[in-house]
A and B are shown apart, each in its own frame.
Chain A
């Protein structure tokens, strides 16, 4: 027996590099346990605090192990702890912290149990970290599932609302189809190249041992792209997005919109720009077409939406198209632009969703456009962040969104995909129709939007019925909105620090043009 054990070589475990993951998983377990305690204080206060502590610890540890440059993956080549993984992970942590703050007064945490809710959140983030760092087909799938399964549950945590349960179920069904497709694709890629590790796959392709036109490889690449497209809401695999975004509790929608998107694009970059980089001709033109289609479908789909959550969902589809442009060009500039845009995307979407959270709790119209009427006069501290977020999403200058789009167009043109740059521009023009409508509703007085209305619903008053009192009653939400809107402007005026990080992130990948 002992002789047998001696033959099995366990991979060397690098505890330092794995430490952020330990913080997350450990936090997840502890939070779950504390959530079982009887006292309400422990559940409603200690659990969120512990979750935040776990996330902050992970941020601290990530900064500690941050080291730019191309580095060998750990765990026998299965997990990369390079700046690409770490940099994108930062977005997950920030999104997680925001979700914790936005969930503080959410009914979802009460109904689903504080411990379970936060534990699942941390579990999902751990999955994202694994996914963003995966350097082998196996880790990719493990990360993908670890990310998804908690999210299916989290979507349905508004136990007493049918739409929330429906969202969870829908996400589960569609997500499973995506996972299955991805798994099949991964198997075919393995079959074609005979390798699991991304480095090895890249090597096989580089040496020409497998021709890029190999049917097995081609099918595998196509199925992988489809599976990941489901998760990133790239058209035509986006249909679940509006329903799930609208049905899920808004803090979870926020988390899905920014963190899941970032995770999906991290693995897009890793799989296509690294592992399959030498088979560029197989996937780049196809993904470019997908990107253009996504941009158009997302923006056109958002125009007739009255529900702001649905509108933001369609807008996130469109943004996925913009982001994909940076992956398609397969250049260092493209990876940088995608990473930069992901960060900006986080800032502006969090600002927007925080305002939706605040309004949804107090307005009888929920997230309908009507609950934003005259917000500029009623509650400027919510109206300004929303305005800045919308202007940034539309790509107005002096906001991060402008610089981000500039960067992406720059990358597209430099990567000989000028038409994709033009597609981004045309998408931005289309998007004005719905972003500006929300701004007009907030600032330009009552005016009828010619769209079918939603029947009013009953809400629990948060603090009386006066809007000012309501705004005062949830200062943490207002603070999140203001903070992230300010950051959006700051990045628009002084983007250099974020550029440095994006450069570090792109330095992790070899073989880029």
Chain B
């Protein structure tokens, strides 16, 4: 079967445009049609995918030849499951949004759909400039979604979010252009296609600062300590479905960029900063875990837990060997799959507590809400990496890699795993068990949210049971993308043993 990635890419935008033109009721079904169709298409892709077959279903057209930018899309093991994650995550979030947004719904749907197209584009792009186009384009719908439909200090929050993220990505733009120009051989045509950049080489000295600017952009997006300044306000002010996507899916785009662009194209530069980035990752694990443990606002518990999880992922990538990178990629998928339903559940909880999101005011909700509590329990256990969950396998792979590399990093990262258990259990207990909070009504989950969350839980369980579905399809491409960085890693300078 031939699969056209452009169709997958622009389906959501098309449905969003249609929804924007239809009257309210119809708009609701139209906006759901896009993500559902994408999901169907992606499921076909998952089974049609040929493991280890390199880049598949490539679309390669000239876009802006003057600047060497091509419209090149392709799927391999590296992005297959991130595309799947995007497709999976957008359906429940759109569903919940469709039934909860009252104010200017059509504009909301349009932005939500545009966001899906932008995220899919960033994952599919096989051209550096195209990647940046989609990377920046993502910000536009999220800027409006947070500022227009958020709560509290939403305008401040969204402005901060966009300025933080765009500062990073504009610096990355300059670095990317420099990369393209410097890599162009004398008399050659400038090209930003990743395959061309990989073959051309640039001087090691230039790689250093270029990689640093890329890393800034990706760290802000992830977010990693100490570039997470935008996180608390944004997480507080964003509406739940949007936040689920922001935390579950968008955070992966940056770290994916490391695997896709930085490691294969600039291995020397990546190697130069390896030590620093690992330290940043380890710090993020500790910092995120400790803060997650001490937060009262349920959203912020998850916000800081994300920082810790992203720290794990970056740690896995910068070990420069297959096991760690494989674990990181698997963990990107797992983290996305648990974060989206976690936030949706928080939304459900907040409705039952008259909007309160403070752990001290919540509690005892499991009493008359067994289904809600059950779903929440499964997701919590997966998040804290219970053996038998996909997260367990992902974190173990990263930890194995870390211990092989350096005992200290391995030990510190393990502390993060332990703390994760503590803060997730605290979150679960604080909301579901204990004394019934003053404003809490224990009502079981409603049908819309059940329809949104239950399938996600099923996917989480399935991945725990059969992780090889992912590993088989990704390992060859992961190995290929870390190979260059692994080769240049010089034991004397890379890690002090």
Interface residues of A (CB under 8 A from B): 376-377, 391, 395-398, 402-403, 406-407, 409-410, 413-414, 418, 421-422, 424-425, 428-429, 432-433, 436-437, 439-440, 443-445, 447, 495-496, 499, 503
What A residues does B139 contact at CB under 8 A?
396
Q: Which residue of A lies closest to B132 (CB)?
A: A397
Bound state CA distance, A436 and B178, in angstroms?
A: 27
**Nearest chain B CB to A209's CB is how many angstroms away?**
33
**Nearest chain A CB to B131's CB is how many angstroms away?**
11
| A443-B144, A444-B147 known; A429 vs B66 contact (CB < 8 Å) | no
| A425-B171, A432-B162 known; A413 vs B64 contact (CB < 8 Å) | no
A496 touches B65 (CB 8 A): yes
Given contacts A397-B137, A413-B174, A413-B181, 9 further A-B contacts (CB under 8 A): A391-B140, A406-B173, A413-B177, A413-B182, A424-B174, A429-B170, A436-B143, A440-B158, A443-B148
B64 touches A403 (CB 8 A): yes
What B residues does A440 contact at CB under 8 A?
147, 155, 158-159
Q: Which residue of A lies closest to B107 (CB)?
A: A376
Bound state CA distance, A433 and B160, in angstroms?
A: 9
Q: Which residue of A lies closest to B166 (CB)?
A: A432
Give the contacting residue for A409; candidates B65, B133, B173; CB below 8 A: B173
What B residues does A503 contact at CB under 8 A?
66
What A residues does B190 contact at CB under 8 A?
410
**Nearest chain B CB to A422's CB is how many angstroms away?**
5
Bound state CA distance, A418 and B180, in angstroms?
A: 13
| A425-B171, A440-B147 known; A396 vs B163 contact (CB < 8 Å) | no
Bound state CA distance, A215 and B159, in angstroms?
A: 50
| A432-B162, A496-B66 known; A443 vs B147 contact (CB < 8 Å) | yes
Bound state CA distance, A395 and B173, in angstroms?
A: 11
What A residues does B148 contact at CB under 8 A?
443-445
**Nearest chain A CB to B24's CB is how many angstroms away?**
15
B140 touches A396 (CB 8 A): yes
B181 touches A396 (CB 8 A): no
Bound state CA distance, A273 and B133, in angstroms?
A: 32
CB-CB nearest 4 A-B residue pairs: A397-B133, A499-B66, A444-B147, A425-B170
A496 touches B133 (CB 8 A): no
Which B residues between 176 and 192 are near A, CB-CB below 8 angstroms?
177-178, 180-182, 190
**Nearest chain B CB to A110's CB is how many angstroms away?**
39
| A413-B178, A413-B181 known; A397 vs B136 contact (CB < 8 Å) | yes
**Nearest chain B CB to A386's CB is how many angstroms away?**
14
| A397-B136, A440-B159 known; A406 vs B166 contact (CB < 8 Å) | no
What B residues does A443 contact at CB under 8 A?
144, 147-148
B136 touches A414 (CB 8 A): no
Bound state CA distance, A503 and B139, in angstroms?
A: 32
Summed over the interface, the residue pairs from A and B with CB atoms below 8 Å come to a total of 91
Bound state CA distance, A447 and B137, in angstroms?
A: 25
Which B residues between 125 and 140 are near A, CB-CB below 8 angstroms?
129, 132-134, 136-137, 139-140
Which B residues between 307 and 349 are near A, CB-CB below 8 angstroms?
none
For chain A, what secondary structure do more than half of its interface residues adopt (helix, strand, loop), or is it mixed? helix
What A residues does B181 contact at CB under 8 A?
410, 413-414
Q: Digitize B145-172: 1 where CB-to-A-CB distance is under 8 Å, 0 elsewhere.
A: 0011000001100110011001100110
Give the contacting residue for A398; candidates B64, B133, B162, B173; CB below 8 A: B133
Q: Which residue of B lies closest to A441 (CB)?
A: B155
Tell me whether B104 is interfacial, beta carbon within 8 Å.
yes
Bound state CA distance, A165 and B182, in angstroms?
A: 52
Residue of A413, A425, A433 ringed by the most chain B CB atoms within 10 A: A425
Q: Which residue of A lies closest to B139 (CB)?
A: A396
What B residues does A429 contact at CB under 8 A?
163, 166-167, 170
Tell me whether B26 is interfacial, beta carbon within 8 Å.
no
What A residues does B458 contact at CB under 8 A?
none
Tell me whether B67 is interfacial, beta carbon within 8 Å.
yes
Bound state CA distance, A403 and B130, in angstroms?
A: 12
What A residues does B167 contact at CB under 8 A?
429
15 intermolecular pairs with C-beta atoms under 8 Å apart: A395-B170, A396-B139, A398-B137, A403-B67, A413-B178, A418-B178, A421-B174, A422-B174, A428-B166, A429-B163, A432-B166, A436-B159, A440-B155, A495-B66, A503-B66
B129 touches A406 (CB 8 A): yes
For chain B, what secondary structure do more than half of its interface residues adopt (helix, strand, loop), or is it mixed? helix
What B residues does A425 contact at CB under 8 A?
170-171, 173-174
B133 touches A436 (CB 8 A): no
**Nearest chain B CB to A445's CB is how many angstroms away?**
8
**Nearest chain A CB to B186's CB is how many angstroms away?**
12
What B residues does A398 contact at CB under 8 A?
133, 137
Residue of A397, A410, A495 ringed by the most chain B CB atoms within 10 A: A397
What B residues does A421 contact at CB under 8 A?
174, 177-178
Bound state CA distance, A422 and B171, in angstroms?
A: 7
Give the contacting residue for A496; candidates B64, B132, B170, B182; CB below 8 A: B64
Bound state CA distance, A439 and B134, in angstroms?
A: 21
What B residues does A444 contact at CB under 8 A?
147-148, 154-155, 158
**Nearest chain A CB to B59's CB is how many angstroms away?**
16
**Nearest chain A CB to B362's CB is how many angstroms away?**
29
Bound state CA distance, A359 and B163, in angstroms?
A: 28
What B residues does A402 contact at CB under 8 A?
133, 136
Give the contacting residue for B136; candidates A396, A410, A433; CB below 8 A: A396
Bound state CA distance, A349 and B158, in angstroms?
A: 25
**Nearest chain A CB to B69's CB is how many angstroms away?**
8
Q: Which residue of B lies closest to A440 (CB)?
A: B155
Q: Which residue of A lies closest to B184 (CB)?
A: A414
Residue of B132, B140, B173 ringed by the most chain A CB atoms within 10 A: B173
What A residues does B66 contact at CB under 8 A?
407, 495-496, 499, 503
**Nearest chain A CB to B102's CB is how many angstroms away?**
14
**Nearest chain B CB to A282's CB is how many angstroms away?**
26
Bound state CA distance, A377 and B103, in angstroms?
A: 11
What B residues does A437 contact at CB under 8 A?
159
Give the contacting residue for B177; candidates A409, A428, A433; CB below 8 A: A409
Bound state CA distance, A454 and B238, in angstroms?
A: 32
Bound state CA distance, A318 and B389, in angstroms?
A: 53
Bound state CA distance, A313 and B159, in angstroms?
A: 22
Bound state CA distance, A283 and B233, in angstroms?
A: 47
B163 touches A433 (CB 8 A): yes
Bound state CA distance, A88 and B206, in angstroms?
A: 37
Q: Which residue of A lies closest to B209 (CB)?
A: A418
Residue of A376, A377, A395, A429 ringed by the most chain B CB atoms within 10 A: A429
What B residues does A413 contact at CB under 8 A?
174, 177-178, 181-182
**Nearest chain B CB to A397's CB is how many angstroms away?**
4
What A residues does B133 contact at CB under 8 A?
397-398, 402
Q: Which residue of A lies closest to B62 (CB)?
A: A496
| A398-B137, A428-B170 known; A407 vs B67 contact (CB < 8 Å) | yes
Q: Which residue of A lies closest to B134 (CB)?
A: A397
What B residues does A418 contact at CB under 8 A?
174, 178
Q: Which residue of A lies closest to B129 (CB)?
A: A406
A377 touches B104 (CB 8 A): yes
What A residues does B134 contact at CB under 8 A?
397
What A residues does B140 contact at CB under 8 A?
391, 396
What A residues does B129 contact at CB under 8 A?
406
A410 touches B147 (CB 8 A): no
A436 touches B137 (CB 8 A): no
Bound state CA distance, A429 and B65, in angstroms?
A: 27
A432 touches B163 (CB 8 A): yes
**Nearest chain B CB to A174's CB is how many angstroms away?**
33
What B residues does A410 contact at CB under 8 A?
67, 177, 180-181, 190
Bound state CA distance, A395 and B147, in angstroms?
A: 20
A396 touches B178 (CB 8 A): no
**Nearest chain A CB to B387's CB is how many angstroms away?**
44
What A residues does B143 contact at CB under 8 A?
436, 439
What A residues does B64 contact at CB under 8 A?
403, 495-496, 499
What A residues does B170 contact at CB under 8 A?
395, 425, 428-429
